[in-house]
Each structure stands twice: as C-alpha cells, then as structure tokens.
Structure 1
Amino acid sequence: MMNIYGDYHVHTPFCPHGSNDALSQYIEQAIAKGLTEISFTEHAPLPKNFTDPAPKRDSSMSWQDLEAYIDVIETVKTQYKTDIRINLGFELDYIEGFEQEVTAFLNQYGPFIDDAILSVHMLKTPDQQYVCLDYSRDEFQHIIHIFGSLKSVYEKYYQTVKQSIVADLGPYKPTRIGHLTLVHKFQQSFPMKDNFEAVTGRLLDLIKQEQLALDLNTAGLYKEDCQEIYPAPAIVHQAIAKGIELKPGSDSHQAETIARGFDQLKQLFA
C-alpha cells in the first residue's frame, strides 16, 4: 500500500486560470485531510520572449507577481511551521527552443525553490508556432488539425517530454516530471487507437536513468474527457516495477480539491 503524507502539486491564487482561494484555505484543508506536507507549485512565469499560445493568455503567473508569490509562501511557512511542512515550488514549462530562458529562471530563483515539477503543456507546431495542449476540447481539435492527425499530436507530445527529461537545465532542474500522459486529457472525445506503450516505456527508462520522479496526478480523474490519473494506470505499474519514485499531487486550483482522489491512488500500490 502507498502511504500518502503530502500533496505535491498545488496551485494558488497567483494562477490566472485558478481560483481566488487564499493560501490559508489550501493549507487548512491539507491539515484537515491529515497531510503533513504540501508543495505549492505555481506555474512559473513564461519566458519574456515567448507568447503564451493559450487563447486567454492565462497559462502562468505574471512576472510582476513573482516576488510577491515567493514572499507569501515564505510567510505561511513560518505561520504554519508547527502544523505542516510547506514547500515553495514551481511548475515549470519545458518549451522546445526556450531551454536557455528556463535555465536562466532556474539559476536565478533556484536557491528559493524547495520543490518543482517540469511539465509539457506547449507544443511546437510544424510551422514553428506554439500551441497549448490542454486548454480545451475545441482547442485540442484545432491542434489535431494543425498536426494533421491525432497520432502526430501524441508523437510530438511524447517527443517533447523526452526532450524535457534529457534537457540540461542547470543545477536547479526540477527532479519530477509532471502529468506524463497529459495528452490523454481529451481521450474520451478523441480516442487514440495506436499503442504508445513502447514509447512510454522508453520514457520511463530515461526517467529512471536521469534519476527523476513522476507526478502521480489525480486531476485527470475529474476531467470529463479523461477519467483517469496521469500517468495512466498501466504506466504507473511499470514505473513502480522500475523503481521510479511517484509523488502524489491533486493539481488543485482551488482549496476544496486538496488530496482529491488520493484514496484511489492507494489501490495502485496494493
């Protein structure tokens, strides 16, 4: 069985596509759920020379809020130090072609970071533009059209994840890969008939080789078009067999969903 002590993928009111719930609400919900640790992993600001491809340009926190984010997390660390361990973290976007900018961010802010996730949300298109993979069902359909097929979207996603795993992003590179099967988010509307088991197996081998961990993310369970955890259960079992560390995360963007679905995670380790 898996013993779950923390929620290691949590967003905050600094997220423009999240809620306005106060940090104290997230923390007190975590304590009420019996957790002893929480990682705030807000979407790090995107590179200044990169244009957010999401239709509402709301993928990440703003640069203007960065110092305030760090300050407020440090403040609640002190306020709740006898109740729960609080980690200051980020979810960083790996963006093909912007490795230098991501490395520069990590080099500057790495000393403040307790925990971090490296995720792929943005894909580089055949015409050298970028799209946001997980924005909406309609946007995903548009992305399929851009790439020519659903299979091509999957191939590009996993190719980009591979690049993120092996990328040299400096000494502060995140040690955990976020929602490995995020490309499944709209699978109920766009079912993938091709088998990517060999591809994901090789990714797991690389993750093991690079001594990285995996985000065991329950958010997909509550997405109408996904209805499964990230990574998919079969991949979780392979990761366990390979000895890869899995860290549970709710990917909460509101306080009430802290640790949501964690009861189902335990079944994977039975």
Structure 2
Amino acid sequence: MKTDGHIHSPYCPHGSDDSFDQYIDAAISLGYQEISFTEHAPLPANFIDPTPDKDSGMNPNFLDPYISDLQKLKVKYKDKIKINIGLEVDYIIHFESETTKFLNKYGQFLDDSILSVHFLQHEGNYYCLDFSTQEFARIISIFGDIDKVYTSYFETIKQSILSDLGPYKPKRIGHMTLVHKFQKKYPCTADFSTDIKQILDLIHDKNMTLDYNGAGINKQFCLEPYPSEWIVKEAAKRKIPLIYGSDAHISRDLNQGYSELVPTITLSAPTSLK
C-alpha cells in the first residue's frame, strides 16, 4: 500500500497556489492509496515568528476553512483514495500550554498529525533553523558554533517527545534530522549518534512513529532523506513505524525522495496504528 503522510496545501503561506484537487489527482496518478494533508498549524498567538517573511504557520483564520474543505474532499474522493485531515504542529519550548489548548480544541477534527521542531531557543530568543543558508549561518554565529546548534536541535527534539501536550498530541515526529538541511555547506564533524539513538529509544518508549521524509533529497545542501539511512535502520531495529512523507509544498513534489528510501524498510500507513 503506497501512502504519503506529509503533504502541504494551498493554505500554506510559504507554499504554492496548487489546489487540493491538484495534489489529490497527482497522488492518485502516482498510485497512492492514502494521503495525509498536514498543513503547518497556526503558531501560538503570543509567539513572534522569527522568520524574515513571517510565514511559518497557517493564518488562524484559515484553519476552519482548511478543515471544512478537506471534510468535503474526503467524501468526493472516497472511492479513489483515502484522505486524512492533519496538521504539522510546531513544538516550541515554553509554549507547551498554548499548544495543548490548541490541540484540545482542534484535535477532535484531525485524522493524523505530525510534531516537528523548526524553532530553536537561545538566550530568550527564537530562531528558525531551516529558513535559509544565510539564516542558518547567522544562527551558528549566535549560538557560537555549529555543534551547539545541533545540540540544541536534538535536545529540543527530546523535549518534544517527552512533552505533555494532552490527549491529541501528535504521535509522529517530523523530519527528525532537519538540522542536516544545510550539511553540505555547513558540515558538522561532531558525533551525535548517541543523541540520535537516545531519541529513537524515547520514540520507541512513547509508542511514537517517525516521518520518513523525502524532501531532503531535493535540498541542494542536504541530498538525503530525513532521517538518513543508518538512523532509519536503527529505528527499524527498535520496530519504530516509519511513515513516508513527501513534505510536498507543490503538487509536482509528491513522491519526492521515494526512490531513495531504504528498500529493505517496511513502511507503515499514516493511520494504520490508530
């Protein structure tokens, strides 16, 4: 069964104008039987988006129409493909309470969801680690060196897994090596294998799953899925379910990275574990 558990939409403020139907028709033509739309959830009201374009999360006024549109599309395409209503929720240190309240309100309408780390905290300020090479270089300078950026990222991932975000907390960790997005331009020579194995142990212990994200393949300075092959094999050893996600922000990017996945790995469907 071919599935994609991580797709964006026309409601993405930094995506494309491609319609839901364009994504769905492309998925059907590629042989997908189940897909999850996981748009970036609105950021907490009191959180100031640190990106230059201020476009990291969905406009909160669009959330109800997003859900309503997908409810109709689930019915429209029910004989051709299974469509899940989902969100990609940001884990932001010190905003756990706001995130929990949001999930308590909207979680009942979701079939699927992802918990991701895009923002790192340092000395009271927040930084978006995947915005651009220039911004990543600035973050390295602010943190002191690239090792400290990696340390902060993996520690934040650990906190996201351990956080109590209520009964609707997403069960899937998004692109757990997103910090590798610019690795070819800003390589990190420190060994974080122990941290990564600890993260996998926590994911296993908390009965969570992993987003096996193909988007990194098409990133100029990454050129590998999130996570990379050795991590995927470690996850498989722990019997952690891996759900392929294209992370497509435009319909033509559906299926990206799929051919680069570890061929011996058995993929799970987004909602098969509920």
Q: Would the TM-score normalized by the shorter structure come out above 0.5?
A: yes
Q: Is the 8 A contact 1:103 1:170 kept in 2?
A: yes
Q: Distance in 2 between matches of 1:231 and 1:252?
A: 16
Q: Distance in 1 between matches of 2:259 and 2:29?
A: 15
Query: CA contact under 8 A between 2:229 and 2:262: conserved in structure 1?
Result: no
Q: Does 1:143 align with 2:142?
A: no
Aligned length: 266
Q: Is the contact made by 2:113 and 2:171 (CA closer than 8 Å) also made in structure 1?
A: yes
CA distance in 2, matches of 1:57, 1:269: 37
1:185 is paired with a residue of what secondary structure?
helix
CA–CA distance in structure 1, aligned partners of residues 124 and 202 of structure 2: 26
Shift of 1:268: 4.6
What root-mean-square deviation, in Å, do the aligned CA atoms of Structure 1 and Structure 2 show? Answer: 0.9
Which residue is 1:83 aligned to? Answer: 80
- Alignment TM-score, normalising by the size of structure 2: 0.96
| Residue in structure 1 matched with residue 187 of structure 2 by the alignment | 191
CA shift for structure 1 position 117: 0.2
1:230 aligns with 2:226: yes
The alpha carbon displacement at 1:258 in A equals 1.0
Contact 2:9/2:18, CA 8 A, preserved across alignment: yes
Question: Structure 2 matches for 1:1-270, cutoff 5 A?
Answer: 4-125=1-122, 127-269=123-265
| CA shift for structure 1 position 257 | 1.2
Which structure 2 residue ranges, 5 or more long, are not aligned? 267-274
Instruction: Output the CA distance in 2 between the equivalents of 1:227 and 1:198.
Output: 23
Normalised TM-score (structure 1): 0.97
Contact in 2 for aligned 1:233/1:268 (Cα 8 Å): no
Query: Shift in Å at residue 269 of structure 1?
Result: 2.3
Residues 108-161 of structure 1 show CA distances to partners (whole Å, capped at 9, x for unaligned) of 001101000000000001x20100010000000000011001000000000000
CA distance in 2, matches of 1:162, 1:145: 24
Give 4+ residue runs of structure 1 displaced > 6 Å after superposition: none
CA deviations 1:43-98 (Å, max 9, x no partner) are 00000010001110010110111111011111111110110000000000000000
Aligned-pair identity in percent equals: 50
